[in-house]
Amino acid sequence: MPQLCVNIDHVATLRNARAGVEPEPITAMAMAELAGAFGIIVHLREDRRHIVDRDVVMIRDCTNTRLNLEMAATEEMQAIALDIKPETVCLVPEKRAELTTEGGLAVTGREEELKAYMQPLWDAGIETSLFVDADPAQVEAAAATGTQIVEIHTGHYADARSLDTVKAELGKVLAGIKLAQDLGLKVNLGHGLNYTNIFAFKDVPGIMEYSIGHSIISRAIFVGMDRAVGDMLDIIRTFKD
Ligand code: PXP
């Protein structure tokens, strides 16, 4: 069965809006885990706009599941990952001015550089995932780096509005999934997935994890974390293995 990993960044966004101590991401972590999440995801951004170092330390100490640390491929973040030792590191591109991660990592032409960057993480027993667009060249380059996992970017599909664009973007994601699987990579999906658009993947075999944040935290504001995570799990549990 595909698994659900819950990104709790936006609990920190709300907390930081008042520069205070509530709501705490660690509470969301505990509630997501109690509701059945397979893992917890946080993105420690260079500008610390939501998750801060303290959150990562606390979550690492207290998680009963798996921690996936999203981060840019910088020296600072590599040192933090080696210290914290999340189960997985997901490398993402980062631009200071962006509202959220806007696209996949540029891997083509950087295969050796990224491999060298990931080697110490692998040596420390950390699995790596590269967040890539469903572009065959990027998926092939990701496989060439030796990463164990790719997370295919579903944001363009999620943002598409006209039926034709939705179809076209979905087609790219499905082709990307197939290619990555054929290349022997484990495949995660993430970005912009919600309680409706995720159904497009119901019959797609071999997805390992769904990485979902914004839609779950948004729903949790109204119905609570337990039900928001539970509702998503109820959907994913009907999906093909
Ligand atoms: N995957 C990656 C690599 C991301 O950067 C994000 C956003 O932080 C997500 C998944 C989750 O996206 P969303 O919050 O839209 O569910």
Q: Is the N-terminal amide bond of 23 cis, ω within 30° of 0?
A: yes
Helix (H) or strand (E) holding 148: none
Parse the chain into domains and list their residue ranges. 3-236
Average pLDDT over residues 17-42: 97
pLDDT of 196 reads 98
Residue 98 pLDDT greater than 80, yes or no: no
For residue 213, give both structure tokens.
């944040």
133 lines ligand 1 (CB under 6 A): no
Residue nearest atom 9 of ligand 1, based on CA coordinates: 191
- Ligand 1 center to 133 CA (angstroms): 13
Query: What would the two tokens of residue 166 be?
Result: 């939705």
Q: What is the pLDDT of residue 101?
A: 75
Q: Is 7 in the pocket of ligand 1 (CB under 6 A)?
A: yes
Pocket test for ligand 1, best of 70, 130, 150 (most atoms within 8 A of CB): 70
Question: What's the pLDDT at 93?
Answer: 95
Say whether 94 is catalytic.
no
- Expressed in angstroms and rounded, the spacing between residue 152 Cα and the centre of ligand 1 is 11
Band of the pLDDT at 100, cuts 50, 70, 90? confident
- Least-confidence region, from 58-62, 98-102, 159-163, 211-215: 98-102
Percent of the chain with pLDDT over 90: 95
Q: Which fold has domain 3-236?
A: TIM Barrel (3.20.20)
In whole angstroms, what is the distance from residue 7 CA to residue 43 CA? 8
Mean pLDDT, all residues of the chain = 97
What are the pLDDT digits (tens) for 197-206? 999 999 999 9
| pLDDT at 55 exceeding the cut of 80 | yes
156 catalytic per annotation? no
Q: What single letter denotes the amino acid at residue 211?
A: S
10 — pLDDT class (breaks 50, 70, 90): very high
pLDDT, position 50:
96
Ligand 1 atom with the smallest distance to the CA of 217 is: 14
Mean pLDDT value across residues 155-176: 98
In the prediction, which pLDDT does 97 show?
A: 73
Q: Which residue has the tokens 């579903």?
A: 154
Q: How confident is the model at residue 145 (pLDDT cuts 50, 70, 90)?
A: very high
Query: Does residue 92 have its Cβ closer than 6 Å to ligand 1?
Result: yes
Q: For the chain, percent helix, then strand, then coil, each to nearest 5?
A: 45, 15, 35
**pLDDT tens-digit readout, 76-88:** 999 999 999 999 9
Cα–Cα separations (whole angstroms), residue 29 to 82, 94, 172, 204: 21, 24, 32, 28
The set of residues, in sequence order, having a beta carbon less than 8 Å from that of 112 and lying 6+ positions away, is none
Distance separating alpha carbons of residues 170 and 239, to the nearest angstrom:
17
Residue 99 predicted with pLDDT over 90: no
User: pLDDT-derived band of residue 102, with 50, 70 and 90 as boundaries?
Assistant: confident
Q: How confident is the model at residue 143 (pLDDT cuts 50, 70, 90)?
A: very high
**Beta strands of the chain (E only): which ranges?**
3-7, 39-43, 67-71, 88-91, 127-132, 149-153, 186-190, 207-212
188-223 pLDDT per residue, tens: 999 999 999 999 999 999 999 999 999 999 999 999
